[in-house]
Amino acid sequence: MTAETFADWVGRSVTREDVATPRLLAEYRASLHPFLFEAADGESCPPGFHWGLAPTTPAMVDLAEDASEARGLFIPPIPYPRRMWAGGSIETLAPISLNAAIRRVSTIADIQHREGKSGRLYFVSVSHEITSDGVLAVQERQDLVFREEASKTSPGMAAPPNTDGLSWMVTPSPALLFRFSAFTFNGHRIHYDAPFAAQEGYPGLVVHGPLQAALMLNQMAASQGAVPRRFDYRCLAPLFGGPDFHVRTEAAEGGMVTRVIRHDGITTAEGRAHAQGS
């Protein structure tokens, strides 16, 4: 049976507005401290702060059983039940300043159906353009994956040996996962509802893809002394709450690479900052 392409959903767009308020910034800093890069100018918000600005705010009646936004509103009515964050790309073009007026334009850029060893999947790419006081500040692509109930997630690969690069040890406590869900207005129950996560077959609460990306991006900025112009990342294996994990950045060919490394040595996410012209 041929899978639905949902081609008529590509190009659909929604615009939301917000303000980079002191309260939102305080919530972000309080949740991720001390794992943040603070710019020398003292005015620019830390990288990753944009994930809490102008988020999707569905009404209670517009939530799916897993408390994410119901399909068929902005995301097409894909029939596969499992939703995960696969990765993305962030271009930082200008700083976001405190009290700036924020405008986010989100567009469905691509939808692909694939079949492989892990089962049948839909990949949905969403592009975002975020302006701060009328200036384009962030261009982002988010890649989401929707998979069948019976499909398998990747077991992941072991991280390479430790080097002399910057390393952070992070505790994915229930409080941290709840706070990040609240900051991003992400209702997906796998991040804060332990019985639901167990019902879905997970051994613990699931650590958000954007939370891992925010930690990697901040560490990359701390390693370079500045926020990278372009940061590409991908989620490789699931990461769960409980045991500490490491975020590690080191030099690599063509730029730098940062990884999130689970307590068992498996890389769950990887990001790269690219040297100029690469």
What are the pLDDT digits (tens) for 16-59?
999 999 999 999 999 999 999 998 877 789 999 999 999 999 99
pLDDT at residue 260, rounded to an integer: 98
Could you tell me the pLDDT band of residue 275, with boundaries at 50, 70 and 90? low
Q: What is the pTM of this model?
A: 0.94
* Tens digits of residue pLDDT in 107-157: 999 999 998 777 899 999 999 999 999 999 999 999 999 998 755 566 677
Q: Which residues contact 253 (CB under 8 A, 6 or more apart)?
A: none
Q: Show the DSSP H helices in 70-190 as ranges.
A: 174-184
Distance in angstroms (rounded) separating the CA atoms of residues 39 and 139: 19
pLDDT at residue 71, rounded to an integer: 94
Whether the pLDDT of residue 278 is over 60: the answer is no
CA 242 to chain centre: 19
Beta strands in the chain (DSSP E): 13-19, 82-92, 101-116, 119-132, 135-147, 157-158, 166-170, 230-235, 245-252, 255-261, 266-274
Distance in angstroms (rounded) separating the CA atoms of residues 241 and 178: 11
* Tens digits of residue pLDDT in 217-261: 999 999 999 999 999 999 999 999 999 999 999 988 777 899 999
Could you tell me the pLDDT band of residue 276, with boundaries at 50, 70 and 90? very low
3-state secondary structure of 141: strand
* Tens digits of residue pLDDT in 73-117: 999 999 998 899 999 999 999 999 999 999 999 999 999 999 877
The dihedral sign for the CA sequence 97, 107, 212, 192: positive
pLDDT at residue 22, rounded to an integer: 96
Q: Which residues pair with 139 in a beta bridge?
A: 91, 129
pLDDT at residue 99, rounded to an integer: 96
Whether residue 46 has a cis bond before it, omega within 30° of 0: no
Whether the pLDDT of residue 10 is over 80: the answer is yes
Contact yes or no for 212/243 (Cβ under 8 A): no
